[in-house]
Amino acid sequence: MATDLYVKQAGEGPAVVLLHGLFGASANLGALARALQATYSVFSVDLPGHGRSAWIANPTLPAMAERLRHWMDDASLSRAHFVGHSLGGKVAMELALQQPGRVSSLAVADIAPVAYQAHHNGVFAALEAVASRPCTSREEAGARMAQHLDEDSVIQFLLSSLQRDAQGYYHWRFDLSGLRAAYPALLAAPAGGRTYAGPVLFIKGGASEYIQPQFWPVVQQLFPAATLEVMPGCGHWLHAEKPVLFNSIVTQFLVSLEQRQSDAPDNNLQEN
């Protein structure tokens, strides 16, 4: 089955798959990819409905996870480490719960396996303002968005997903209508009754409210080996706000796992 996922690969070594957040693209985690590619084979993925990947009819968490699994099959990738930010973290968690044997470990950046309240109304309004009529420049798009959003950093992040067509008009690269329709499902918690027992690191932005102490019992039900690390002074975009620290945390997590594996006794050796 062809999955039509856009995937950029760099480096050699154990496989690490990077998954971006809502309305983003693989380039969002480019600094992490560059930090890892000297030691790992890094696969930077555009999620379904985002970037250069194909749009799908129902871009829910299970559907996105299924597309990832099929891509792994097509790429003859039996298992990999996964690093996901926000929506990418939720998709990675869903894949681990669906197919635990395909996931060597999880590093989940500033998201929890819980249901969230809708909080992108302003973002959707800004995106629709650009999509509602022809737009001929990024400046025009930014001005329309500023009528709905106050944070320039958010506007600039979203503008990175504009693309220009042959007639000179700008359009969103992601599937705006599909993601809006699927938005309630993307906010939902992964279904319970499943566990992933492998190593999981949750990385929280210290100034972010996406991971709350009251969420931790749910985390431990689904991911009993989960640990938490907090990045002080960071919001939800922790990988962009403090990239050196974020990259170091992820790298140390992966290195510790590889070291633990190499130090484990060979169960195939027989005692004399």
Query: What is the structure's pLDDT at 229?
Result: 98
Please list the active-site residues.
86, 236
pLDDT tens-digit readout, 181-209 = 999 999 999 988 999 999 999 999 999 99
Mean pLDDT of all residues in 231-249 = 96
Mean pLDDT of all residues in 83-91 = 98
Residue 232 has pLDDT above 60, yes or no: yes
* String of DSSP letters for the chain: ------EEEE--SSEEEEE--TT--GGGGHHHHHHHTTTSEEEEEPPTTSTTSPP-S---HHHHHHHHHHHHHHTT---EEEEEETHHHHHHHHHHHH-GGGEEEEEEES--SS------HHHHHHHHHHHTS----HHHHHHHHHTT---HHHHHHHHTTEEE-TTS-EEESS-HHHHHHHHHHHHSPPPSS----S-EEEEEETT--SS-GGGHHHHHHH-TTEEEEEETT--TTHHHHSHHHHHHHHHHHHHHHHHHHHHS--TTPPP-
Query: What is the structure's pLDDT at 265?
Result: 64
In this prediction the pTM is 0.93
Query: What is the structure's pLDDT at 264?
Result: 64
pLDDT tens-digit readout, 145-183 = 999 999 998 999 999 999 999 999 999 999 999 999 999
pLDDT tens-digit readout, 43-80 = 999 999 999 999 999 899 999 999 999 999 999 999 99
